């Protein structure tokens, strides 16, 4: 069998969408399984919308997911002469022709056709123009595009998921292959590149299936062998509409920045529309996915993006991950959120963050949740939840309770959770009250919240100095006539 060569060919007009990432993953997985090559091509011929920043975002997202390519990235903008040569070849063979119709003229004729209840396709007004007529139009300042001539008949291709697919050529119009600015269109550049790069399998979203008969005709016109096609289903939201921000961000970058692990997102994307044959199994290593992957096991129906399931899967990976690895991700989040500057980070910071992670990793679904819901680990002054402050610290004797806690905790040298718990419970027993009488005010004083991880483990992680300062601040705020305004920040 000839070498399997797959490709991923994004347009650099924004972030890498989850659908694009899954397409890249399927192409990568097939190439790895078959010991082939995975090629990266950047389709940047849309000059107005393509940006270098978007290229970097796409490359970074692929690297983050571990989808490293074997060749490329190739940039279509640097291959323009190749497209011109093949366009000229089609023109010389009488399979492509210049069209001088303006957008306004085309729209006027389209509206007229539609008003008559007929479907519009290009009416071949410029087909068979004589050379003197073309020259006259050029002298008038008209610019031309190059259109591909659609022959009569039917176009058929094999889809690896759907079997034999048929299109009547009369449903297609003579589409543009070269624009007036000299840039190739998607269908034309795609065919030339896939053929010259010897792509054996074209795996892409099923929104491209209507492009395929046009591309098949171009392959045939240029004498190129056809690759194998597989059009994988779209990813939809739970409401069965196209994935968008209302379903959870569609961007790979968003999930990276929120502290999702690349292994988890890779696993989750692989399971969207791909049946492993082990339906009870959800967690797969990268190696297992490659070993089991096949296009034949990709379903035809649309996949549904389920943020709850992704969160569950990510939480599994977090619990299994090394704390130092998680700390490196948390560090990036804290820097990005402005909690700390990179140059301020010390080994003591990292040691502390690892303790936070060790305490919280069973409770979180993504690492940014630590900063979002447990900011008290990363600030000097606690930001109090108003209900927690009013209900727990607003009661009688609370100031006295906090004073007792401060005195007791100040005397403890070995600030470990078991010792702290024993001391609090012993103090409660001496006072003849339940331990909760001390535990609840103490929790709110040091964290600003009514719920969280185990209190004594929390006190240990925060450390004696910070705990005492927070108790003192809470005591002072209790004396204020109303709930304090949060200062936030460091």
Tokens representing 20 are: 């694009």
Distance linking the first and last C-alpha atoms of the chain = 62
Tokens representing 82 are: 């190749």
Q: How far apart are CA 240 and CA 303, in angstroms?
A: 9
Q: Would you give the DSSP letter of residue 210?
A: T
Q: Would you give the DSSP letter of residue 165?
A: E
Instruction: Check if the beta carbon of residue 185 is closer than 8 Å to that of residue 193.
Output: no
Q: Cα dist. 231→175, 213, 302, 459, 474 in Å?
A: 22, 13, 11, 55, 61
Q: How far apart are CA 66 and CA 57, in angstroms?
A: 14
Q: How far apart are CA 456 and CA 476, in angstroms?
A: 23
Phi, psi of 158 (to 5 degrees): -100, 125
Name the helix (H) or strand (E) containing 352: helix 347-360
Tokens representing 94 are: 């009488």
Residue 149: count other Cβ atoms within 10 Å of its Cβ.
16
Catalytic residue list contains 245: yes
Instruction: Check if the beta carbon of residue 322 is closer than 8 Å to that of residue 291.
Output: no
Cα 83 to the center of its chain, rounded Å: 32
Instruction: Check if the beta carbon of residue 305 is closer than 8 Å to that of residue 243.
Output: yes
Tokens representing 223 are: 């004498």
Strands 5-8 and 37-42, sheet pairing: parallel
Q: Would you give the DSSP letter of residue 77?
A: G
> Which residue is it, tokens 């023109």?
91
Catalytic residue among 245, 281, 300, 324: 245
Instruction: Tell me which residues are annotated as active site.
Output: 245
């Amino acid at each position: 069998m000839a070498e399997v060569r797959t490709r991923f060919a994004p347009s650099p007009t924004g972030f890498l969408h989850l659908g694009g990432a899954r397409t890249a993953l399927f192409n990568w997985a097939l190439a790895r399984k078959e010991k082939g090559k995975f090629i990266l091509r950047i389709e940047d011929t849309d000059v107005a919308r393509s940006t270098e920043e978007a290229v970097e975002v796409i490359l970074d997202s692929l690297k983050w997911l571990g989808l490293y390519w074997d060749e490329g990235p190739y940039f279509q903008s640097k291959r323009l002469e190749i497209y011109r040569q093949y366009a000229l070849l089609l023109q010389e063979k009488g399979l492509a022709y210049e069209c001088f119709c303006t957008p306004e003229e085309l729209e006027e004729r389209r509206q007229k056709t539609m008003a008559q209840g007929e479907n519009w396709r290009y009416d071949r007004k410029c087909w068979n123009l004589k050379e003197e007529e073309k020259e006259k139009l050029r002298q008038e300042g008209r610019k031309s595009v190059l259109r591909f001539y659609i022959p009569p008949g039917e176009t058929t291709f094999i889809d690896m998921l759907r079997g034999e697919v048929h299109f009547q050529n009369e449903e297609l119009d003579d589409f543009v292959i070269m624009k007036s600015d000299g840039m190739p269109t998607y269908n034309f550049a795609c065919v030339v590149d896939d053929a010259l790069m010897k792509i054996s399998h074209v795996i892409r979203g099923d929104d491209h299936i209507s492009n395929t008969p046009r591309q098949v005709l171009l392959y045939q016109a240029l004498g190129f062998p056809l690759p194998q096609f597989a059009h994988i289903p779209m990813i939809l939201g739970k409401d069965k509409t196209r994935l968008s921000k209302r379903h959870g961000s569609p961007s790979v970058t968003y999930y990276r920045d929120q502290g999702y692990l690349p292994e988890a997102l890779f696993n989750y994307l692989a399971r969207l529309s791909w049946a492993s044959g082990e339906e009870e199994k959800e967690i797969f290593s990268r190696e297992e996915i490659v070993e089991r992957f096949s296009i034949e096991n990709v379903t035809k129906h649309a996949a549904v993006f389920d943020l709850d399931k992704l969160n569950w899967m990510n939480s599994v990976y977090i619990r299994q991950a090394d704390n130092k690895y998680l700390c490196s991700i948390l560090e990036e989040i804290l820097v990005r959120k402005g909690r700390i500057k990179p140059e301020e980070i010390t080994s003591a910071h990292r040691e502390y963050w690892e303790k936070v992670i060790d305490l919280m990793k069973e409770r979180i679904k993504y690492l940014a949740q630590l900063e979002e819901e447990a900011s008290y680990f990363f600030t000097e002054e606690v930001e109090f939840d108003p209900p927690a402050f009013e209900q727990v610290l607003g009661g009688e004797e609370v100031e006295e309770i906090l004073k007792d806690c401060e005195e007791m905790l100040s005397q403890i040298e070995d600030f470990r959770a078991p010792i702290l718990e024993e001391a609090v419970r012993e103090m409660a027993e001496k006072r003849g009250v339940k331990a909760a009488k001390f535990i609840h005010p103490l929790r709110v004083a040091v964290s600003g919240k009514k719920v969280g991880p185990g209190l004594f483990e929390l006190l240990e992680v925060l450390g004696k100095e910070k705990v005492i300062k927070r108790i003192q601040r809470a005591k002072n705020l209790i004396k204020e006539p109303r709930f304090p305004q949060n200062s936030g920040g460091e």
